[in-house]
Amino acid sequence: MSSKDFQSIIEHERVLTSPEELVTYSYDATENRCIPKAVFRPINEEEVRKIINFSRDNEIPLTPRGAGTSLSGCAVPSEGSFVIDFGLMRGIKEIDTENSFVTVEPGVVYESLNSNLVESNLFFPPDPGSGNVCTIGGMVSTNASGIRAVKYGTTRDYVQRLRVVLASGEAVTLGNLAPKSSAGYDLVGFFVGSEGTLGIITEITLKIIKRPIYFAVASLSFDSMVKAAKAVGEIISSGLDPSVLEIIDDKTLRVIKMYQDIEVGGNGVLLVEMDGFSKEDVWNRLDTALEICDLSGASGSNVARTSEEREALWRARKAALPSLARYKPTLILEDVTVPLSRLSEMLGEITKISDKHGIEIATFGHAGDGNLHPTLLVDRKSPVEMEQTKKVMEEIFRAALSLGGTLSGEHGIGLSKREFMKLEHKNSLDLMKKLKNVFDPKNLMNPGKVL
Amino acid sequence: MSSKDFQSIIEHERVLTSPEELVTYSYDATENRCIPKAVFRPINEEEVRKIINFSRDNEIPLTPRGAGTSLSGCAVPSEGSFVIDFGLMRGIKEIDTENSFVTVEPGVVYESLNSNLVESNLFFPPDPGSGNVCTIGGMVSTNASGIRAVKYGTTRDYVQRLRVVLASGEAVTLGNLAPKSSAGYDLVGFFVGSEGTLGIITEITLKIIKRPIYFAVASLSFDSMVKAAKAVGEIISSGLDPSVLEIIDDKTLRVIKMYQDIEVGGNGVLLVEMDGFSKEDVWNRLDTALEICDLSGASGSNVARTSEEREALWRARKAALPSLARYKPTLILEDVTVPLSRLSEMLGEITKISDKHGIEIATFGHAGDGNLHPTLLVDRKSPVEMEQTKKVMEEIFRAALSLGGTLSGEHGIGLSKREFMKLEHKNSLDLMKKLKNVFDPKNLMNPGKVL
C-alpha cells in the first residue's frame, strides 16, 4: 500500500481529510494547535492494527484522541500525524459484578460509564473535572484523577488489565483478572500515564467499587490560606479519610463573587466531604474535621444538612472555573502537586511569583492530595502577558519541585511541561527515553509528548 | 582492579568467602541451592555502587539478599555470583508523620519498622507471613503482601520513592514525595516486584497510614469449601471491607487437629476480621458478614469478644504451617491467585489434581483476594514424590491461569515459576525481556530469575 492509499486503510467514510474536519482535531484544552494529516475513526482493534501498520510502514506519526479535553497538550496532533479518534469505540463490553470489574473500549465517556454502573451500586471513583465528556482511554493515558483522589486514588489504582496494540502491530494483553499479582514486571502500571507514547490502548478492564450511600459536607472559611493549609494537613494525618478536601484561595473567591450570587466568606475556603456506608460514622468524621478546622483557626463554617444544601456548598467550587473564564479571556490551568506539609509554602510561592511578574493567579484545587491548580489569568492577545506567563509557569514548576513535588498531579506532561521533565526526573529521564525506544523505535507513537 | 581483587572492594571483614560462611547464603525457603562466589555486606549506597561497578567490569552476576525468606527462589544466588547482603543496612532514616512517609534502608525488618511506628500510631500494612524476619527490600522486590492485602493492598501500593543503583553504576532517584503524580512513566511501580533483576535498591520511601483502633474477629465453619468460597465472594462484593478474610480447607484442618489442641469444626473455616476507628462500625460490619455466612450455609460461628478470644481464633490459622511441617518433611507452598468468582472452581481443581497424582495438598490462604496457598505435603527424599510434585505444580499453575488468574499473588516468580511465565504473559513476556535488557544489557542483575 503506498502512502497515498491511507484513505482505504479502513472504511472510507471513517477517514476524515477535509480541512474543516481536520481543524476540529487540531487542538485540545491548551493553547497548542496542529492540523493532522488525516483522522481515522476505527471501530475495533483490528482496524487500529491496520492504522498502526500503515503508519509504521510509511513513517507517519500517530496521536490517539479521546474527547480532546487534555490540559497538557497530549491530545494535540504531532506534526504531520494521523489521529486515531476513539469516538466510535464506546462499547461497555462487560460489567462483572461478581468480581467488580468493568471492561470497556477506550472511547467510553467517564460519566456514561458510571451511569451504567448505578444499577449495580458500583462506580469507578477517579472523577476529573471534565468527567461529563472525557473518555476512559484519555484518563488511563494521563493517569487522570480529580476531587475524590484524596480518598480513592488515581486511575492507575483501578486499571487491572489492558489490551494494547504496539508499534510493531502486535496486540498484547497486559495484566490479568486476579485481585493481586507478583508475576513479573508491572506493564499495566507502566502504560497508565504514558499519554499514547508507548502503544495504542484498545480495551481497558477497571476495578470498580461499592458506591457510598451517605455523604456529609461542610464549607469552612479561613482568614488566611496558611491556616486553611494547616487544617488540611491535620485532617489528613488524623486518618479521617475525607472523600473531598478542596481549597479555594482569596483571588478565586473574589472573582466568583463578581459573577455569582454565592455567599462565601473569608480569604480562603475549604470544602470537606465525608462519604461511607454508615450515616453515623460519616457525620462523626465530619464533626471531628470541623473541630480540627476550629482549632486551626477557621472563622466560619457551613454544614449541609440536606442534599439541596450540599449542592449549594458545591456551587462555589464548581463556579470557580466558569467565573475565572468570564473574568479574563485566557486561562492557563496548572497542576503542580506538593507534599502536604509544603502546601502552605507552595501557596506562598505562587503569591510571590504572581506579584513579581504582575500576572494574576487564582488558585484552587485538591488540597487533600497536595494538588493545586494555580490558574494564570491572562489574554492570549497580549504578547507581554504571554511572555510573562512562560516565566511564571517555569517559576511555579521550580518551586513545586524544590518542595519535593511533581510537575503534574493529574493533567499529564504532554507538550506543555515536556521541557521541564529533566528538572523533575534528572538522570532517570534517560531511562524513560530508553524504555520508550523499546516500545517505539521509530518514534511514531505520539512523538514530541512527555519525553 | 583484577577479578581476584574483589576482597578489597569494601572493607575486608565485610566480604565473606569461607565455605562455611558461603553455605549459609546458598538457599532461601525453597528447595533451590547454589553457593555464591562471595558475599558482600555493604553499609551504604557508595559501597553498593563499588560492588556493582566491579561485578560489571568483571562480568560477575549479582544477587541481592534481605532475610532469605523467599518462597520462589529469588534470593538463591545465581551461578558464580556475588551476593549483596543488606543485613548491615537497617537504618530507619526518617519518619515523616506530617506527610505519612517513612524512609528506610533495604535491610530493615518488617516488624521492626512497624514497632518503630507504633508511637506515631502509623503502620505499613502489607503483612507477610515472614514479617518478623523479612526485610523491606525483599518485600519491595517481590511486591509482597499477606493477610491484610484484602483491605490494604500490596507493597506496590505503598512505595512512593526509590533510590536505585543501576547496572551502569549510576544511582537514580525514582518517584517523589507528592501524594500523586502524572509526570512520565511509573518507574517506581515498575521496579516493585522486579526481584533484583533491574537494579539494586538502596533506599525506600513508603507511605504509611493510621493504625486502626478497633478489631472484630469471627471464625466460621462450613460443611463444604464451595459454601465457604461463596461466602467469601458475597462478603467482598457487599463492600464490607474486611481487613482479613482467610480460608482453611478440610485437609489443613485435619492436620492441625492432629497436633494442636484447637477446636475447629466443619470441612472448611473462614476467619473474618473487621478493623477501623469506630467500635460500632467495626461490629456492625462483622455482624453483616456473619449474616452473609449464615445465608451461605455456615454450620457454626465463633465470635471473639475479648482480645484473648481473638488470639484463640487466630491460633488455628497460625497453626497451619507448623502443623503441616510436622506432618510431612517437605512442604512446597504454592501461591496461585484467581478472580474471586473462580475461587470455588480453583479449590475443586486442586482436589482433583491431588487425587489424580496421589500427592496430599493442604490449602489455606487469603481467600478475600483470591490468593490460595495449596501446600504440597511431600518428602524430598522420595524421588517418586518429587517427580509427581512437578506435575502437580504445573497442573495447578495451568488451572489458575485458565481461570483468569496469576502464577503468584505475593511470593514472586524467582526460579520456581520462571518456566511458566510464557503461559501467563504470552507475547508480553518478550516485551519484559527487552525492557530488562535496557536496564541490564550484560544480564548480571540476579540472572535466571523471573524471565
Strand-pairing partners, residue A25, are none
**Tens digit of each residue's pLDDT (9 = 90 or more) over B389-433:** 999 999 999 999 999 999 999 999 999 999 999 999 999 999 999
Nearest-CA distance B180 → chain A (Å) = 5
Name residue B424's amino acid. E
How far is residue B409's CA from residue B225's CA, in Å, rounded to a whole number? Answer: 20
Give the range among A85-89, A142-146, B274-278 with minimum mean pLDDT.
B274-278
**Tens digit of each residue's pLDDT (9 = 90 or more) over B50-107:** 999 999 999 999 999 999 999 999 999 999 999 999 999 999 999 999 999 999 999 9
Whether B179 sits inside 8 A of A431 (CB atoms) is: no
**For range B153-181, the mean pLDDT:** 98
CB hemisphere CA count around B85 (13 angstroms): 21
- pTM of the predicted structure, to 2 decimals: 0.96
pLDDT at A263 over 90: no
How far is residue A350's CA from residue B390's CA, in Å, rounded to a whole number? Answer: 63
Which residue from B100, B144, B181 is facing A237, i.e. has the nearest CB? Answer: B100
pLDDT at A3 over 70: no
Confidence grade of residue A367 (pLDDT, cut at 50, 70, 90)? very high
Whether B182 sits inside 8 A of A412 (CB atoms) is: yes
Confidence grade of residue A361 (pLDDT, cut at 50, 70, 90)? very high
**For range A130-159, the mean pLDDT:** 97
Which residue from B181, B337, B432 is facing A337, i.e. has the nearest CB? Answer: B181
Written in H, E and C, the secondary structure of chain B is: CCHHHHHHCCCHHHEECCHHHHHCCCECCCCCECCCCEEECCCCHHHHHHHHHHHHHCCCCEEEECCCCCCCCCCCCCCCCEEEEHHHCCCEEEEECCCCEEEECCCCEHHHHHHHHHHHCEECCCCCCCCCCCEHHHHHHHCCCCCCHHHHCCHHHHEEEEEEECCCCCEEEEECCCCCCCCCCCHHHHHCCCCCCCCEEEEEEEECEECCCEEEEEEEEECCHHHHHHHHHHHHHCCCCCCEEEEEEHHHHHHHHHHCCCCCCCCEEEEEEEEECCHHHHHHHHHHHHHHHHHCCEEEEEEECCHHHHHHHHHHHHHHHHHHHHHCCEEEECCCECCHHHHHHHHHHHHHHHHHHCCEEEEEEEHHHCEEEEEEEECCCCHHHHHHHHHHHHHHHHHHHHCCCECCCCCCCCCCCHHHHHHHHCCHHHHHHHHHHHHCCCCCECCCCCC
Nearest-CA distance B139 → chain A (Å) = 11
pLDDT at A305 over 90: no
Minimal CA–CA distance to B67: which of B159, B138, B144, B17?
B138
pLDDT at B263 over 60: yes
Which residue from B178, B187, B417 is facing A338, i.e. has the nearest CB? Answer: B178
Confidence grade of residue A337 (pLDDT, cut at 50, 70, 90)? very high
In terms of CA atoms, which chain B residue is nearest residue A276? Answer: B239
Interface test with A, best of B72, B98, B180 (most A CBs within 10 A): B180
Chain A residue numbers with beta carbons less than 8 Å from the beta carbon of B194 are 185
Minimal CA–CA distance to A145: which of A391, A411, A444?
A411
Whether A424 sits inside 8 A of B183 (CB atoms) is: yes
Chain B residue numbers with beta carbons less than 8 Å from the beta carbon of A170 are 427
Interface test with B, best of A49, A161, A180 (most B CBs within 10 A): A180
Interface test with A, best of B145, B162, B185 (most A CBs within 10 A): B185
pLDDT of residue B2: 57
In terms of CA atoms, which chain B residue is nearest residue A172? Answer: B428
Whether B239 sits inside 8 A of A210 (CB atoms) is: yes
pLDDT at B441 over 70: yes
Whether B409 sits inside 8 A of A97 (CB atoms) is: no
**Tens digit of each residue's pLDDT (9 = 90 or more) over A211-224:** 999 999 999 999 99
Nearest-CA distance A404 → chain B (Å) = 6
pLDDT at B262 over 70: yes
**Tens digit of each residue's pLDDT (9 = 90 or more) over A246-262:** 999 999 999 999 998 87
How far is residue A316's CA from residue B220's CA, in Å, rounded to a whole number? Answer: 50
Nearest-CA distance B451 → chain A (Å) = 7
Q: What is the mean pLDDT of chain A?
A: 95
Tracing cell 581483587 back to the chain, one arrives at B5
Nearest-CA distance B390 → chain A (Å) = 19
pLDDT of residue A1: 53
How far is residue B372's CA from residue A205's CA, in Å, rounded to a whole number? Answer: 23
In terms of CA atoms, which chain A residue is nearest residue B151? Answer: A179
pLDDT of residue A2: 57
pLDDT of residue A317: 84
Chain B residue numbers with beta carbons less than 8 Å from the beta carbon of A101 are 339
pLDDT of residue B119: 96
Complex prediction ipTM: 0.96
Confidence grade of residue B284 (pLDDT, cut at 50, 70, 90)? very high
Give the range among A37-41, B37-41, B185-189, B236-240 with minimum mean pLDDT.
B236-240
Whether A189 sits inside 8 A of B189 (CB atoms) is: yes
In terms of CA atoms, which chain A residue is nearest residue B149? Answer: A180
Strand-pairing partners, residue A304, are A217
Dihedral (C-alpha) B56, B57, B60, B61: value to the nearest 10 degrees? 0
